[in-house]
Chains A and B, each alone.
Chain A
Amino acid sequence: AQKITQTQPGMFVQEKEAVTLDCTYDTSDPSYGLFWYKQPSSGEMIFLIYQGSYDQQNATEGRYSLNFQKARKSANLVISASQLGDSAMYFCAMSLSSARQLTFGSGTQLTVLP
């Protein structure tokens, strides 16, 4: 069975600073995908970034980058130049090639301070 762990229930960051949100995972499946979603207080889940288990390079999407360390089974999200609008809940999630579903971590509540 797969498992996603987010150990930071809450994080604070100063506006314009960078922040790293931690995510570790556990699976015996060699083919998997790792996702980060943002959930503002309004409720919708917004896709941010994806990393495949066989991808050689770390994924980047604008201000978002994923620090993928396969041997350590970690997939941390880095947000550069934080903005007030980045305040939200952030979920790390994993999918397997053998199962059609996403398994979510418990989330990290990020607050950007002016």
Chain B
Amino acid sequence: DAMVIQNPRYQVTQFGKPVTLSCSQTLNHNVMYWYQQKSSQAPKLLFHYYDKDFNNEADTPDNFQSRRPNTSFCFLDIRSPGLGDAAMYLCATSKGTGGPNEKLFFGSGTQLSVL
């Protein structure tokens, strides 16, 4: 089945140690998103790629970076994780046809713990 896949499901890192989360999709969608969701809170958009065009949210910390080497894969890099970066990270995709009816398809998320 076509889907959005996130690996790993759980990731533990140390304070200040760089970590990379990965997302892949078989939907051939143009847009890929990264959301951060802290416990009992709404998901918050960090950035998204429309094809190769990177779009950063104004309040996303510089500590967060992203790479999209091809249509299928997108990575979230956290350069120096702090305790406050512990969260669920959700990857999502959409077709990119535009319009308010564009549905997002989500992966299962990666739960990041920072020790």
Contacts and interface: CB of A to CB of B under 8 A. Distances in A.
B88 interface: yes
B43 interface: yes
B41 A45 contact: no
B111 interface: yes
Contacts of A45: 43, 90, 92, 104, 106
B115 to A, nearest CB: 20
B3 to A, nearest CB: 10
Contacts, number: 65
B75 interface: no
Contact of A105 (B31, B42, B96): B42
Interface string A44-82: 111100101100000000000000000000000000000
A87 to B, nearest CB: 16
Contact of A52 (B31, B41, B100, B106): B100
B79 interface: no
A44 to B, nearest CB: 4
A91 B42 CA distance: 8
A98 to B, nearest CB: 9
Contacts of B98: 97, 100
Interface residues of B, number: 29
Nearest to A104: B42
A12 to B, nearest CB: 17
A101 B41 CA distance: 17
A27 B31 CA distance: 24
B56 to A, nearest CB: 12
A11 interface: no
The list of the 6 closest CB pairs from A to B, nearest first, reads A33-B100, A45-B106, A104-B42, A43-B109, A44-B108, A97-B100
26 contacts: A31-B99, A33-B100, A33-B101, A33-B102, A35-B103, A35-B104, A42-B108, A43-B90, A43-B108, A45-B43, A45-B90, A45-B104, A45-B106, A46-B106, A47-B105, A52-B101, A96-B100, A100-B50, A100-B94, A100-B98, A102-B45, A104-B42, A104-B44, A105-B42, A107-B40, A107-B42
Given A33-B101, A35-B103, A47-B103, 19 more contacts: A35-B104, A42-B108, A43-B90, A43-B108, A44-B106, A44-B108, A45-B43, A47-B105, A50-B101, A52-B101, A53-B100, A91-B42, A91-B43, A97-B98, A101-B48, A102-B45, A102-B104, A106-B42, A107-B42
